[in-house]
Structure 1
C-alpha cells in the first residue's frame, strides 16, 4: 500500500481497479462497488471503436491511442459527485497521471498475479477481444505503483471474496496482516527473563506439527476417566483445558492426572466469576459481579477475587476466565445482568481492578471477557450472534476506556466474545457490507487494528466457547476453526468434535489460511503465558497442590466472608407503601410463593432454594404457607386439579383473613438457553402472579435477576438479594424484619425504563 489514502478520514469514492488482462478487474471492481455502494464502469466500454478494432486485430495500442481513452476515464471521475469505480488496465505511470489529472483523489487498486496464473485465466476466455499473444506486451508495459500514488496492491491467487476483503481493507488504510503486532515476551503482561524466553523458543522448536496445532486448543473435559484424558492428550496435544465442575477432590485428582500425562504443562482454566463456586461443587459462593458493585465498599470485589484465587489454586487451576468487564447498559440484557459490575465504565474499571488484584495473590492469570463488550444487545451469544452498536468515539469513551485501564493494570489474556461491532468494524474497514460484519472472534479489524494496535494489548487472546451459535452461524465449521486463529485469536475454546476440529485447524495451516508467522506468534503467546506462571521450571508433581490444600475450599473463613458480603449487599429497591418492617408479631401468617425459570442444563432443582426460605422464616417465628401450582399438586398425586381450579381456590375474597402478608422469592436464571430472560408464570393468569398485592402487604425478593420489576410492577416492596445462597436468604429475611439495615445500592436498570415500576 502506498500513498496517503484517506488523510481527512472521509469515505473513498473514486477508485480505478487496474492490472493486466485476465486479472479480474471487472469482477472485482463490480464486487468492490457493491460493497461500497458505488457505481461501477468497465473501462473497456469507454474505448473508442477504433481502439477496439485495433486490439481485435492483434495490434497493440500506442500511447496516442490510449490518451483520449484515459482522459475520458478521468473526465468521468471529475463529473461524478458519488462513488464511482472504473476497471482500467492503467499500466504505466503516465497513463495513471492522465486519469489523475481529471481527479487527483483517485485511488488505484492493482490486482497482481503471476504470469502463469494470468496465462491460464486468459486461455479460458476465447471470446474476449484481447488475444493471448498480448499478455506479454502488457506485462512488459506494466509499471509498478510508486510511493506518491494512492494505491492498494492485492494478490489475485485467492477467492474473489478474499480479494475484495483485502482491497476494501486496504482502501480503509489498513492491511489484513495478523503478524503486524508480534508478541514481545519480555514486555507486559509476560515479563519473561532470558531463560524463560529461551524455553519458549526451544519448546516450540521441539514440537511436531501436530503438537503445535494441539497447543491452539483448550479442551472441555466432559469425562473424569483416565482413559478419556489419555485420548485427549495423546491424540490432540491440547494446550489447555477446562473441566466440568464436580466435587473438589475429584476435580483436583483429574487435574493432577492431566498434568502428569502431558509433555508440556497445561493451562487449566476455571470460571470463578463468583468466588470458588463454579470451579467445583463445594466452592464458596462469595458474590456475583453485580453484587460486588452494589455497595460503596470496593473491597468486596477484592475479597471475591481473593477467595476465587485461593480455592481454584487449591484445585490445581492456574487460569481464571474472569473478571467480566462488560457494561450493563440495556436492562433487557440478561446475559450479563448479574455478571457485570454495573452500568458505567467507572464502576466496572474500579471493581475489575480489585478483583484482579485479589485473585492475583494466588498463582493465577486472568482472562477478562467479553471483548469488544456485551451489554447493549439484549440477546445471548450462546444462542445467536449479538452486537455492540456503539460508534467508534462512544466505544472508546466506554468499553475502550475499560480495556485500556485493565490492559494497563496488567491483565494477561482476553476472551473475545461472539459479538459483532458494525461501527467499529467500518471505522477500520470503510464500506464493509452488512453481510460481512463478523463477530469479533473472526474480525481482524477488531482483533488486530483495535485490540492489538490501538489498545496495545501484548497478551494472549482466546475465543469464547466455539459451540456458541454466535460463532457457528457466521460460517461453516471447517472455515471458522482456522479463521479465528488467522484473524488474531491465539487459542480456540472447546472442540465440538475433536477429530474434526483438529483436522480443520491442521488443514487451515497446510492451506495457508493460518500462516507460519501467525502460528508461531500464537504459540509464543501460549507458551509465554505458561512461562509467566513458572510452569516451565516447576517440578511436574508440584503443578497441583497436595490433597490437604482442599481444606481451603468452602472453609469457615470463606463462608464468613460470603455472609458479611451478603449482609452488606442485600438491597431495598423500593418500599413505596411502607410495608416494612414485617415481623412475626405484626404479620404472623405468611403466604410464600416461589418463582423459578424451570430446570436448566445443570439439572439442579430450580425450587430447592424455597426450602431454605421456608426454614429461615419458620426459625424467625413466622407461620409459613407454601403455595403450590397445579402441576406441583398433580405431581404430588392430587387429582381433579387444574390451573383454573387453583386460581379459583387461591384468589378468594377472604385471602386477607387467611394470610397477613405475602412473600414472593424469585430465582430465575435461564442462562445460555434463551435469547432473553423474563418471568414465566406457571399458567395463564397464574395464581402466583401478585394480584394479592392489593389485599395484603407483599414483598418481592429477587435472588438473581435485577430486572423483575418489569413483570411485577404492582408490588410496592422489592428487594434484590443477589443470590439464592443461605447467607443471602438469611440476610434478606433479617432486613425484612428490621433486624438490620439495608446497605446495598442499585442502578437505574432496576426500573426497566418504565414509570409504573417506581410506584
Structure 2
C-alpha cells in the first residue's frame, strides 16, 4: 500500500487552519481542476503563446487550472510582470519555480551569479555555497518565485559526465552533503520551497537523460553508502520537494521487486518501486515529488506519451513538469484518472502534497490579503552591492590553478605583451547560457592592462613558421567557453576545423595558459597544456580575477578534485 502524506509532520508541519484550507479546496474541486493542479506549465515572458498553442497566459491559467509555473529567460521587470499576471489569474495560488543553482542568474537574465557547485567545492569554504543559496532565494523571491528546483545533490563519480560536471558539489557523499546543506541554509533565509534533484542520482555515467534513459549502475550497498546518505540527510533536514530524474537504478529496483525483467526497468519518474517503495516508504520522505521535464528522452522513450503522462502520477510522482501539447496532455491525464490508472486515493494524496506546500507558504492567505503579488521596488535587491561582493568573494576563493608544471606564471605586459588569444566555444545551450561577450571582456581587460591581443582564426590549419611565431607572440592564452547540454551525451572540446591551428601545438614555442570558463575536465582533450586554470564562469568579475591571478596580483585559492585529470597520467605533466 502506498504511503500517504501526513500534513502535520515534516516537511509540512501544517496547523489545523492550513490543513482545513487544503481539505476544503480539494473537496470543492472539479475533476478538471484536480487534473490541472498536477501540471507545471513553462511560460515565456514577453510571449502569449506556448509551444504553438494559441492560448494567452491568462487562458492557460484559467482554462487548464495549472498548479505550477516555470518560465524561461528575460529580465527581472518582465519576469516579475509575468508572475504577477499569472498569480492574478489563478483561482488557487501557483507554485512558481526557477532553477537557481548558483545564484539569482537562474531566475532572471540580470540576476547575480555567485558560484556553481563545482566552484563551491573548489573554494573549500561553505560560505560560498551558503551565499549562492542566499542570493538565489533573495533574488528569486523578489520576482515572485516561491519554489527553487535546486540544488543538484548528484555525485560526480564519472569525470565524463557533463550533465552535472559544474552543478554537482563533489565527487563523494560527504562533500555533496557539506556544501548542499550550506546552500540550503542560505536559500531558506528566504521564504521559498526547496527542491533537490535528480532522484535517484546522476553522475555515475556519462550519458544525458535529455537524450537517453539515464542509468545509475550502483549496487544496493554502493547506492546506500553514497546517494542514500545524501538523500537521507536532506529528508531528515526537512527538504520539501524532490525532483525525480529520468534515471533508472536497476540493481535496487530488482532488489525491491525481484520479478522485474530488464525490459521492465523504468526511469524513476515511472517506477513505483523507486518513488513509492524506496523514497516515500523506506526513506520516509513525506514531501512532494515532481518529475523532471517531460520532454526528455529518458521518459519519452519508455512508452507512449498517452500512457506515461498518467503513469507518472500513478507511480508516485505528485506533479508533472511541462506540457508537450497542453490540450492533449490534459486529456491524457484526465483519461488516466477516469479509467483508474490514477486511483482516487493517489489523486487525493498528490493534491494534498501539492496544496500542502502552498499552505505552508500561506499563499492562500497572501492571495486573500492582496499581498501575493510583488512590487517593482523589490527588484532593487537584484544585482545589489552586497550580492556583487559575494560574487567577488566566491571568484577569489574558487578560481583554481590545476597545474603550472612549465612555470609559465606570472605574466605581465612587460614580459608577455603580445598575446595570441585562442577562443573555443560550444553550442549556445537552452539552459546554460554562454555569454557572447566573454571574449570581448577578456580582450578589453587585457588591453586595458597594456597587452596587445590578437585573436586567432581557428578556421584554418595553417600554423606558419614556428620561428616567426616565437618572434611575434609572447604568450598564448586559450579560453574555453564551452557550455551546454541536451545536444550531446558528453561535451568535449571541438576545434573549429580538422587539425585547426588553435590546437595547442604551441605549448613549447611560447608560454601557454589554458583557461576553462565552464567544464572542469578539458585536460582530457588538451593533456599537452602545462598551465591549466578552472574559472567556473564567464562573468566580468571572474574574468578580471582570472587575469589578476595570472599576473600574480592575487593568489589562486581553489583546489581541484581528482576528476580534473580525467584518469590520464599525462594530464598531470
Residues 153, 197 of structure 2: 8 Å contact kept:
yes
Distance 1:286 1:600 in 2: 20
Residues 256, 544 of structure 1: 8 Å contact kept:
yes
- The match for 1:621 is 450
- The match for 1:133 is none
How far off its partner does 1:606 sit? 5.9
- The match for 2:38 is 216
Q: Does 1:713 align with 2:542?
A: no
- The match for 1:745 is 559
Distance 1:618 1:601 in 2: 32
Distance 1:605 1:286 in 2: 16
Over residues 105-132 of structure 1, what are the superposed CA-to-partner deviations in whole Å (9 max), with x where a residue is unaligned? Answer: xxxxxxxxxxxxxxxxxxxxxxxxxxxx
Over residues 623-658 of structure 1, what are the superposed CA-to-partner deviations in whole Å (9 max), with x where a residue is unaligned? Answer: 21111233xxxxxxxxxxxx34xx144x54311100
The TM-score, its normalising length taken from structure 1, stands at: 0.73
The partner residue of 1:699 within 513, 516, 520 is 513
- The match for 1:16 is none
Residues 275, 307 of structure 1: 8 Å contact kept:
yes
How far off its partner does 1:286 sit? 0.8
Give the 4+ runs in structure 1 shifted more than 2 A: 222-227, 598-608
- The match for 1:485 is 313
Distance 1:602 1:398 in 2: 27
- The match for 1:681 is 495
Against the structure 1 CA distance between its residues 490 and 274, is the aligned structure 2 distance closer, same or farther, given a 3 Å change threshold? Answer: same
Q: Does 1:451 align with 2:279?
A: yes
The partner residue of 2:164 within 329, 336, 353 is 336
Measured on the aligned residues, the alpha-carbon RMSD in Å equals 1.4
Distance 1:307 1:413 in 2: 20
Residues 512, 529 of structure 2: 8 Å contact kept:
yes
Over residues 390-439 of structure 1, what are the superposed CA-to-partner deviations in whole Å (9 max), with x where a residue is unaligned? Answer: 00111000000000001111110000000011101001011421111110
Residues 123, 394 of structure 2: 8 Å contact kept:
no
Matches within 5 A, 1:188-203: 188-203=10-25
Question: SS of the counterpart of 1:404?
Answer: helix
Distance 1:603 1:756 in 2: 30
Q: Does 1:657 align with 2:486?
A: no
Residues 595, 607 of structure 1: 8 Å contact kept:
no
How far off its partner does 1:622 sit? 1.4
Question: SS of the counterpart of 2:507?
Answer: helix
Distance 2:429 2:58 in 1: 31
Q: Which runs of 5+ in 1 are unaligned?
A: 1-176, 631-642
Q: Does 1:733 align with 2:555?
A: no
Distance 1:733 1:196 in 2: 54
Distance 2:432 2:312 in 1: 32
Matches within 5 A, 1:159-170: none
The partner residue of 1:347 within 169, 175, 178 is 175
Residues 596, 606 of structure 1: 8 Å contact kept:
no
Distance 1:516 1:543 in 2: 31
Q: How many residues align?
A: 566
The partner residue of 1:363 within 167, 188, 191 is 191
How far off its partner does 1:458 sit? 0.2
Distance 2:167 2:430 in 1: 19
How far off its partner does 1:604 sit? 6.8
Against the structure 1 CA distance between its residues 605 and 539, is the aligned structure 2 distance closer, same or farther, given a 3 Å change threshold? Answer: closer
Matches within 5 A, 1:171-210: 177=1, 180-210=2-32
Distance 1:437 1:745 in 2: 39
How far off its partner does 1:245 sit? 1.9
Over residues 309-336 of structure 1, what are the superposed CA-to-partner deviations in whole Å (9 max), with x where a residue is unaligned? Answer: 1100000000000111000000000000
Residues 45, 78 of structure 2: 8 Å contact kept:
no
Q: Which runs of 5+ in 2 are unaligned?
A: 49-54
- The match for 2:82 is 254
| Highest RCO, 1 vs 2 (Cα 8 Å, sep ≥ 6) | 2
The TM-score, its normalising length taken from structure 2, stands at: 0.97
Question: SS of the counterpart of 1:654?
Answer: helix
Distance 1:204 1:624 in 2: 65
Residues 200, 247 of structure 2: 8 Å contact kept:
yes
